[in-house]
Amino acid sequence: MSDGLNPFEFRTVPAIQLEWSGAKRLGEVVGARFAARKVLLVTDGGLVKAGIIAPIVASLEASGFAVTLFDEVVADPPEHVLLACVAKAKAAGVDIVIGLGGGSSLDVAKLAAVLLVSEQPLADLYGIGKVQGSRLPLIQVPTTAGTGSEVTNITILTTGETTKMGVVSPQLYADFVLLDGELTVGLPAVHTAATGIDAMVHAIEAYTSRHKKNPVSDALAREALRLLSANLIAACKDGTNRKAREAMLLGAMLAGQAFANSPVAAVHALAYPLGGHYHVPHGLSNALMLGPVLRFNAKAAAPLYAELADVIAGPGAGGAEARADVFVATMQKLMDESGAPRRLRDVGVTDNTLAMLASDAMKQTRLLVNNPVEVTEADALALYREAF
Ligand SMILES: [Zn+2]
């Protein structure tokens, strides 16, 4: 019996379509799959200004959809943004929801689809498995590579002034995901770098996650890391490189599938307070904390980091600890070359707030339990100091 597999369950979305320029014919794509025709399109004002939304709305309308546009999503979305979105959609009587944008738009779309048919108050949804009943049909179209939010069952909202809270429930898996690499072409290099590193963090943390790691999440994490590490620099250097953009989008999605089933850990726990207090974007805050946490975990996670060294640096000689060092050094080199900011002080964090950040990070117990090594508040403070 000792060689058997541990029991596990794996879930993901039922349908994914990858098609360059697919968003420009979103009406056809969605119209062929769903009967509903009163659509809520959840996005942000930046994409509207960039001219990305108008052709998509035109495509939906040409296929007979009545479109209610909600373009007020902001990074680290607070509860009132979601509630405003739901109110607008309710007034319009929508019967299908499309999230289109970065992780924040996709996250808001998930809970809007739930709240549009649910009597549950938002406050009752936080935590794991609290959502009851069903939701409206839900389609997700990411414009960054990325959060992987298009294939996860998680929404993160900012509650109160600074606290990040998560809703985790199977209802939040979308019905359909469109991956259109063309939507990511306009993403500036620094955002391409930060969001790409965040996607790598998802793969790494899923691969070393303490409780729910399984053979399927492992396979997805390895392939995600292979694609992301091989294409990050190319996508940063030339945003119009279609091959690199599609590989990054695919890699970010695979990493999302992995961590939806084998959850992320200390990098994310330490990153959330940076978003809450300083509005450092999610991807960047994870990129800033990755190096210190990799070094902190390296000893305990050596056998797993050694396996990941084969994926991102190719096979090599040496024992587990030496190969783990190769993995950490290769990740550092990638991050340096990507052009993403590397220190907390570069993004406006002041050293007199590090203790408060450490105390805040301790609240992320949902994530910290997944880390290969226990993180105390003193450890968290030391990690912020190292990142400063
Ligand atoms: Zn992340």
C-alpha 331 – ligand 1 centre gap (Å): 16
- Cα–ligand 1 centroid distance for 201 (angstroms): 7
Q: How confident is the model at residue 276 (pLDDT cuts 50, 70, 90)?
A: confident
pLDDT in tens, 306-353: 999 999 999 999 999 999 999 999 999 999 999 999 999 999 999 999
Is the pLDDT assigned to residue 268 strictly greater than 90? yes
Q: What is the pLDDT of residue 160?
A: 80
**Residue 113, φ and ψ in degrees, nearest 5:** -60, -35
Q: Whole-prediction pTM value?
A: 0.96
Q: Where does the pLDDT of residue 2 fall: very low under 50, low under 70, confident under 90, or very high at 90 and above?
A: low
The Å distance, Cα 350 to ligand 1 centre, comes to 23
Interval 154-188: pLDDT, tens = 999 998 877 888 999 999 999 999 999 999 999 99
Distance between Cα 142 and ligand 1 center (Å): 14
Q: What percent of the chain has pLDDT over 70?
A: 99
Given pLDDT bands bounded at 50, 70 and 90, which one contains residue 65?
Answer: very high
State in Å: Cα 282 to ligand 1 middle. 6
C-alpha 146 – ligand 1 centre gap (Å): 8
Burial class (CB in 10 A: 0-12, 13-18, 19+), 189: middle
Ligand 1: centre distance to CA 268 (Å): 6
Query: Distance from the CA of 203 to the center of ligand 1, in angstroms?
Result: 10
Cα 41 to averaged position of ligand 1 atoms, centre (Å): 23
Tokens of residue 139, six digits: 């389609």
How close is the Cα of 4 to the center of ligand 1, in Å? 32
Q: Which two tokens stand for residue 112?
A: 């809007």
* pLDDT tens for each residue of 116-151: 999 999 999 999 999 999 999 999 999 999 999 999
CA distances from 106 to 50, 210, 296, 313 (A): 18, 27, 32, 33
In this predicted structure, the answer to whether residue 1 has a pLDDT above a threshold of 60 is no
